[in-house]
Amino acid sequence: MQFSYLVTFTHPDPDARISASDLETMTTRIDATPDLRHARPYTPQHADYYYTNGGSSPIFALQLDFDTFAALEVSIAADEHLQSIARSDFSSLAACAIKQQVGAVAIPGA
């Protein structure tokens, strides 16, 4: 079993993007998260296809994977590592609505 913390940053301007500086700082800090198994940062890509006309994508999203739920809980606790990142100033994300969720994923063969 793997536990994932997912965070999306949706900006009111559909053409907005996370700045290169904010992206670099964010990924460097995320990579330093204790007990993090894997980090997947996502930025929007463009595709023209019949099924892709569903509105704009978030300007930034993260999927952070942990081996245990306890490790994930510690990382998102009020005074822990991920909350210190959340309190940081990322100017290109300032106007974003932020959504968070936690999920559990079964890993085949584990």
Span 1-8, average pLDDT? 93
Residues 6+ apart with CB under 8 A from 7: 61, 62, 64, 98, 99, 100
Which DSSP helix (H) or strand (E) runs through 9? strand 2-10
Torsion 34-38-4-62 (CA) sign: positive
Q: Is the pLDDT of residue 92 over 70?
A: yes
> What's the distance, Cα to Cα, between the start and end of the chain in Å?
7
The pLDDT tens digits for 7-27 are: 999 999 988 999 999 999 999
pLDDT at 45: 75
Q: What is the pLDDT of residue 109?
A: 76
> Domains in the chain, start-ordered, CATH in brackets?
2-45+56-105 (3.30.70.100)
Task: Please give the pLDDT value at position 52.
Answer: 58
pLDDT one-digit tens code per residue, 29-77: 999 999 999 999 999 876 666 665 666 789 999 999 999 999 999 999 9
What's this model's pTM, rounded to 2 decimal places? 0.86
